Every structure is written in structure tokens, then in C-alpha cells.
Structure 1
Amino acid sequence: MLMFVLPLLAIVLLMMPLVPVYAGITTGKKAKHAIIFNLCAFAGIVLLMIVLPLGGFVSAATDAGSAAAALSTGDGLKYLGAALSTGLASIGAGVAVGGAAPAAIGACSEDPKAFGKSMIFVVMGEGIAIYGLVISFMILFM
């Protein structure tokens, strides 16, 4: 019973900040208590993450015969490098597209013939994220 209630509690705590937002949409009022709901949900999730391991409901221990062997430091650094290459490349692509897309829209509104030229710059910004993803695959699988 407890193994069903605790994940349900986690889902409720994660969905709790949406309550004042939905109430603000349906009533037309701004959601003033959203920050309080966010803090309560965060505190509840943190408390749940503390209680679950202490109560023995989840465990990181594995038996010696299982296929899930402990990771080495090299494996951990490999995953960290892959995550950093994808994440930082995506942030860079967001910055590039955030600057290029409004300029492209402005150029197209003044001269519709400039659409093809302006889209090249937006696509070049998106290419940065793809390069980061390719590098992370190279780190993980080579």
C-alpha cells in the first residue's frame, strides 16, 4: 500500500504549483499564491527524497551477480562530458536563435525576398545543438 501512496504523493506534489495557475486562468485573477505553492511542492519533494531512502523503500545496493555493476570514475566522467556537451550546445543554440530569429522576421517584414537569406542564419544557430548532440554520441559510444 505504501509503495503505491508514495509515488502518488510525489505526483501530487509536482502538480501542486499548477493549481493557482489554473485557478487564475478560470477566474481571471492573477495567481498570487503560486510562489507559496511552488515552495511547498519543493519542500515536499525534498522531504520525500529524504524519507524514501531512510525508510528502506528504495535502495542503491545491488547483488554481486547482477548485470548492473558499479560504474567507474571514467564512466561517470564520460556521462558528465556527454551531458555537458549536449546541454551547453543547446544553450548556445538558444542564444543564437534568440538573436537571429527576430532579426530574420524583421528582415522578412521589410523585404519578403530576404526570407531565404535570413533563414540560413537561423538554421546555422540550430546546427550548434546538433553538433553538440553528435559530440555526446561520440563520447558515449566510441
Structure 2
Amino acid sequence: MTKRIIALAASFLIMGAASLFAQETAGYEAEAQAAETQTVEQTEQAPAQSDSGLSGAIKYIAAAIAVGFACIGGAMAVGKIGAAAMGAMSENAELSGKALPFVGLAEGICLWGFLVALFIIIM
């Protein structure tokens, strides 16, 4: 159990660091593009503020956590349901059509996590 917790914490640390670096490079690219397209008349105006910094990084970390927890939960559900479905099918082959949709429903948990992460990033 402690190995799972350590592995989970390490994966969140890696995903968090990756999201912070992704946010920093996106900010640099936006600044470079704005500098190239800026004309002489616009230099006197105040530069536009973009959604960068800590709030942008938190969005990526929240999205990574949403997908991570959903995928871990979906994997645990598929493991238990899949094992039970295979056991039931080994005793009665006619149950395969009734057991496999439950495995598909458990995989849908990962899809919901991805959709939540997508909404977090977009909004």
C-alpha cells in the first residue's frame, strides 16, 4: 500500500513539474510572438496582460490531477470487474455478452476525467 502511495505521489510530482515547464514555455512563445508583431506606434501603449503565472500553472496541475485520479480509479475498476467477468465466463460462456459491457462502463471513468481536464484547461 505504501508503494502505491509513493508511486502516486511521484507521478503527481512529475506531472506537476511538466505542467509548470509547459506553462513557462507557452508564456515565452507568446511574448516572442507579441514582440515580433508589435509596431512602433504600439510601443507607447501598455502591453496587454495575458493569463500566465501561477493561475495558469494551477490549471494544468488541476487537469493532471483530474486525469490521474480518473485513470487510476478506472484501472482499479477494470481490474476487479475484468477478473470477475473472466471468472464468470470460464464457468458459463453465455455470460460473455452480459459481462463485457460492465468493463466498458468502468473504462468510461477515464473519459470523464479527460473531459473534466479539458474543461479546466479551456475555461
After TM superposition, the score normalised by the length of structure 1 is 0.51
User: Residue 89 of structure 2 is aligned with which of 90, 97, 108?
Assistant: 108
Report the Cα offset of residue 70 of structure 1: 8.5
1:130 aligned onto 2:111: yes
Report the Cα offset of residue 79 of structure 1: 0.5
Moved runs in structure 1, 4+ residues, more than 2 A?
62-65, 67-71
Q: Partner residue of 2:79?
A: 98
Matched to 2:82, the amino acid is: A
1:81 aligned onto 2:62: yes
Matched to 1:114, the amino acid is: L
Count of residue pairs the alignment pairs up: 82
Matched to 1:112, the amino acid is: A
For structure 1, list consecutive stretches of 5 or more residues without a partner in the other structure.
Answer: 1-59
Cα 1:63–1:141 shift into 2, 3 Å: closer
Q: Partner residue of 2:32?
A: 66
Cα 1:75–1:99 shift into 2, 3 Å: same
Q: Partner residue of 1:118?
A: 99
Report the Cα offset of residue 102 of structure 1: 1.0
Deviations 1:88-112 (A, max 9, x none): 1000011001101111011111111
Superposed CA RMSD in Å reads 2.5
Structure showing the higher helix proportion among its residues: 2
Q: Output the CA distance in 1 between the equivalents of 2:30 and 2:120.
A: 28
Cα 1:64–1:135 shift into 2, 3 Å: closer
State the identity as a percent: 35
Matched to 2:32, the amino acid is: S
1:47-62 alignment, distance < 5 Å: none
Computing the radius of gyration over CA atoms, which structure comes out larger, 1 or 2? Answer: 1
Matched to 1:92, the amino acid is: G
RCO comparison, higher one (Cα < 8 Å, 6+): 2
Q: Partner residue of 1:44?
A: none
Report the Cα offset of residue 120 of structure 1: 1.9
